[in-house]
Amino acid sequence: MLREPIATMVGYANFHGPPGVNDLGRRGAAETGYTVFPPYRGRGFATETAQAMMDWAAAEHGVREFISGVTPDNLPSLRVNEKLGFVPTGDIVDGEIIFELHRP
């Protein structure tokens, strides 16, 4: 008997709004956000998902600038930003370090 694979929700991801709705109010920039549930952390889901979201936004909507806010104690998300090439802007909003990524 063949069994269908069971779909498992490992987290969720979103943009904080359309381009222009971001912590810095930058016109045309999209802000990413994601959560990975504890049992599934450390497996690359956040990096893969954020990359896929940015690829989609660039291909479908021409978005070339991305924003990410991370609290200083969230080491896993800081590592995700580093892997994706985000750099700190020097801004802090609501206790989060704000990062940016510009794509050609």
Enumerate the domain spans of the chain: 11-102
Under CATH, what is the fold of the domain 11-102?
Aminopeptidase (3.40.630)
Give me the count of residues in the chain.
104
Dist. CA 72–CA 92, nearest whole Å: 10
Q: Are 24 and 67 in contact (CB under 8 A)?
A: yes
Give residue 1's pLDDT. 64
User: How confident is the prediction for the chain on average, in pLDDT?
Assistant: 95
Q: What stretches of 1-104 show up as alpha helix (H) in DSSP?
A: 45-61, 75-84
Give residue 17's pLDDT. 96
Dist. CA 80–CA 59, nearest whole Å: 21
Mean pLDDT of 25-51: 96
